[in-house]
C-alpha cells in the first residue's frame, strides 16, 4: 500500500503481537485494514525484535487463535504447562490442570515463533494493507466522522495522510500515539528489571516453577521437553550486577534461590537480557474513533505472566463487539460510538481490576517482617492442603481476563 489519502475501516498502529492479531482477525471480517508498523515488510521477512521472551498464553485466549485459523499451528509450536509450583521459603503451593476446566494451565510460546506465525498469516489477506513507517500526526476530518493519520514511511522523506473510521493504537508502553492524542497516563515504576535467559534442563517437563523471596520473583517456564525460560524480577542494581558479572555469578545467585539439587539439572543456554518493569495506566482506553490496547493501554508486573494476555483479550473483546454491530445489519462503522462504548464497558473495569490485583500481589509478597512472612507461608501451605480452594484459584486464573 503506497497510496496517499486512502480510506480504511480500521488503521492499526504497532507491530507487536496484539497489533498483528488485530490485523489478521479484523481483515477476516472483510474490513479494509491498514497496519502501520516500524520496519514491517509483508513482502520481505519478518522483522524480529531480537527479544528472547517466552509468553504463558492463558486458556482464555485460545479462542483468538481459533478465530484466526491458527489454533492447530499454535498448539504445535507451544509447550503445555500441566502443573505450576509456587515457592516461598519452606511453603509450596502446587496447582494442576486436573483441578481446572482445561487440559492445560497455560501454553508457553516464544516471541519470535508467535510473531512469525502471525506475520505469515498476514501475507495471504487481500484486504489487509501495510505501511512500514511511523505515525507522525493525528487529526479528525471536518465532519468528525474520520481520523486523519499522518504517516512517515520508512523509505520516504514525505509524510502521507490516510483516513480511517477507527484508529487502533497498539504502539507499546511508550506510545507516541497516546502522546499526540493528549491521553494522560501514569507510571508506577517498580525500580526493578526482569533478567531473562534460556536454560537446558533435565527437570520434569511441563511444570512452571515460581519462587517469591523478599521483593524478587523468579520463574522458570517450560519452553520444550528439555528447556526452560527464566524470568527473574529483581532490584535494578541487582539485575545490573547479574548482567555485568555473567553466567557463573548467575548460577551462584540461583543456587541461593532454588537450591543446589535443582541447579545441578539446569544449564544456561543463552545470553542474559533485561527489561525495566513498571505498571502503566491510562486515563482513557477509548476516545472519539480511537481505541488504545496492548501495552499502550496497560502494563503489569510480569509475576502473573498476564501482560500480553490482557492485550490479546482486548482484541478478542473488540472483535466480538464488531460481530455484534455487523449482525445488526446496519451500515457498519468500526469507529461508531456504540462499538466504542460497549468495548469500554467490557474492558475498563476488568483491566483496572487485573492491574490492581497484580500490583497487590506484588506489594503483598514484597512486604518484609516476620508476621507478613508467616502469613504468606501459612496461607500458601493452607491453600496447598485444600483441593477446593486450589480448584477455585485455577478456575479464576483461567477466566480472569
Ligand X SMILES: Cc1cc2nc3c(=O)[nH]c(=O)nc-3n(C[C@H](O)[C@H](O)[C@H](O)COP(=O)(O)OP(=O)(O)OC[C@H]3O[C@@H](n4cnc5c(N)ncnc54)[C@H](O)[C@@H]3O)c2cc1C
Footprint of ligand X (CB under 6 A):
13-19, 36-38, 53, 55-56, 134-135, 170-173, 176, 194, 196, 231, 275, 294-295, 302, 305-309, 311
Q: How far is the CB of 279 from ligand X (least distance, A)?
A: 11
Q: How far is the CB of 378 from ligand X (least distance, A)?
A: 28
Give the strand pairing for 216-224 and 207-213: antiparallel
Closer residue to ligand X, CB minimum distance, 86 or 170: 170
Closer residue to ligand X, CB minimum distance, 146 or 296: 296
Closer residue to ligand X, CB minimum distance, 91 or 314: 314
**What gap in Å lies between CA 376 and CA 82, rounded to an integer?**
24
**Cell 479462542 appears where?**
63
Closer residue to ligand X, CB minimum distance, 15 or 100: 15
CB atoms within 10 A of CB 90: 8
Q: How far is the CB of 220 from ligand X (least distance, A)?
A: 12
Would you say 282 and 292 are in contact if contact means Cβ atoms under 8 Å apart? Answer: yes
Q: How far is the CB of 229 from ligand X (least distance, A)?
A: 9
Q: How far is the CB of 273 from ligand X (least distance, A)?
A: 9
**What gap in Å lies between CA 57 and CA 80, rounded to an integer?**
10
Closer residue to ligand X, CB minimum distance, 258 or 275: 275
Closer residue to ligand X, CB minimum distance, 100 or 294: 294
Q: How far is the CB of 49 from ligand X (least distance, A)?
A: 7
**All cell numbers assigned to 192:** 526493578
Q: How far is the CB of 45 from ligand X (least distance, A)?
A: 15
DSSP output for 175-233 = -HHHHHTT--EEEEEEEEEEEEEEEEE-SPSSEEEEEEETTEEEEEEEEETTEEEEEEE
| Closest chain position to ligand X (CB) | 16
- Length, in residues, of the chain: 401
Q: Which of 141, 178, 150, 173 is nearest to 287 (CA)?
A: 178
**Cell 488504545 appears where?**
292
Q: What residues contact residue 61 under an 8 Å CB cut-off, 6+ apart?
A: 309, 312, 313, 316, 401
Closer residue to ligand X, CB minimum distance, 196 or 318: 196
Amino acid at each position: 500500500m503506497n497510496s496517499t489519502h486512502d480510506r480504511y475501516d480500521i488503521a492499526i498502529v504497532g507491530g507487536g503481537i496484539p497489533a498483528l492479531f488485530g490485523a489478521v482477525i479484523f481483515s477476516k471480517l472483510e474490513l479494509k485494514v491498514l497496519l502501520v508498523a516500524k520496519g514491517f515488510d509483508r513482502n520481505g521477512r519478518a522483522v524480529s525484535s531480537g527479544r528472547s521472551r517466552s509468553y504463558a498464553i492463558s486458556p482464555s485466549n485460545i479462542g483468538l487463535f481459533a478465530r484466526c485459523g491458527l489454533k492447530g499451528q499454535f498448539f504445535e509450536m507451544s509447550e503445555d504447562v500441566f502443573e505450576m509450583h509456587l515457592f516461598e521459603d519452606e511453603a509450596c503451593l502446587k496447582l494442576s490442570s486436573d483441578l481446572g476446566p482445561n487440559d492445560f494451565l497455560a501454553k508457553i510460546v516464544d516471541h519470535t515463533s508467535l510473531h512469525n506465525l502471525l506475520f505469515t498469516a498476514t501475507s495471504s489477506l487481500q484486504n489487509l494493507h501495510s505501511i512500514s513507517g511511523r505515525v507522525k500526526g493525528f487529526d479528525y476530518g471536518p465532519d468528525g466522522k474520520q481520523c486523519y493519520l499522518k504517516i512517515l514511511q520508512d523509505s520516504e522523506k514525505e509524510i502521507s495522510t490516510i483516513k480511517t473510521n477507527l484508529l487502533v493504537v497498539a504502539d507499546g508502553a511508550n506510545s507516541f500515539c497516546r502522546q499526540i492524542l493528549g491521553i494522560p497516563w501514569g507510571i508506577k515504576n517498580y525500580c526493578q528489571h526482569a533478567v531473562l535467559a534460556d536454560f537446558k534442563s533435565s527437570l520434569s517437563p511441563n511444570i512452571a516453577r515460581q519462587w517469591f523471596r523478599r521483593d524478587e520473583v523468579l520463574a522458570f517456564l517450560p519452553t520444550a521437553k528439555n528447556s526452560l525460560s527464566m524470568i527473574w524480577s529483581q532490584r535494578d542494581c541487582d539485575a545490573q550486577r547479574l548482567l555485568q558479572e555473567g553466567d557463573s555469578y548467575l548460577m551462584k545467585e540461583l543456587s541461593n534461590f532454588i537450591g543446589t539439587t535443582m541447579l545441578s539439572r539446569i544449564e544456561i543456554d543463552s545470553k542474559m537480557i533485561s527489561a525495566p518493569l513498571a505498571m502503566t495506566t491510562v486515563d482513557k482506553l477509548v476516545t472519539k474513533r480511537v481505541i488504545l490496547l496492548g501495552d499502550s493501554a496497560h502494563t503489569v508486573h510480569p509475576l502473573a505472566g498476564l501482560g500480553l494476555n490482557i492485550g490479546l483479550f482486548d482484541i478478542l473483546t473488540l472483535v466480538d463487539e464488531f460481530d455484534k454491530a455487523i449482525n445488526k445489519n446496519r451500515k457498519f462503522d468500526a469507529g461508531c460510538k456504540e462499538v466504542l462504548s460497549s468495548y469500554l464497558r467490557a474492558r475498563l473495569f476488568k483491566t483496572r481490576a487485573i492491574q490492581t490485583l497484580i500490583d497487590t500481589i506484588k506489594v503483598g509478597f514484597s512486604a518484609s517482617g516476620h508476621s507478613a512472612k508467616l502469613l504468606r507461608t501459612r496461607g500458601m501451605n493452607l491453600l496447598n492442603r485444600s483441593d477446593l480452594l486450589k480448584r477455585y484459584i485455577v478456575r479464576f486464573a483461567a477466566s480472569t481476563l
